[in-house]
Amino acid sequence: WQMYGYIVFAVTCVAYETFHAVFVANEVIAQAKLRQKLLNLTNGSMDRKELETFNYLYYLILIGIAIDWTAGTI
């Protein structure tokens, strides 16, 4: 029974990690699309400071996702 428990646990972990990886990939793609949309929307009229702030937030989100993913893997 203990062995059975380990197998179920392992399968659950693998399934969760796969789901998580797919979710993270989708999130990254969505972020990239959103970013492109915003850049198209402003059509380069965004001033430098705004653009820098936006880039900063964007990378902050990406780093957050990366940390979350690594924490999920460990």
Domain ranges for the chain, please list them.
Answer: 2-73
- In 1-74, which residue ranges form alpha helices assigned H by DSSP? 2-42, 48-73
pLDDT > 70? residue 33: yes
20/44 Cα distance (integer angstroms): 35
Which value, in Å, is the radius of gyration of the alpha carbons in the chain?
A: 19
pLDDT > 60? residue 21: yes
For residue 46, the Cα-to-chain-centroid distance in whole angstroms is 25
pLDDT value, residue 47: 62
24/62 Cα distance (integer angstroms): 10
Question: Confidence class of residue 67 from pLDDT cuts 50, 70 and 90?
Answer: confident
Question: Confidence class of residue 10 from pLDDT cuts 50, 70 and 90?
Answer: confident
Per-residue pLDDT reduced to its tens digit, 40-52: 665 655 566 666 7
Name the token pair of 59. Answer: 């990378």
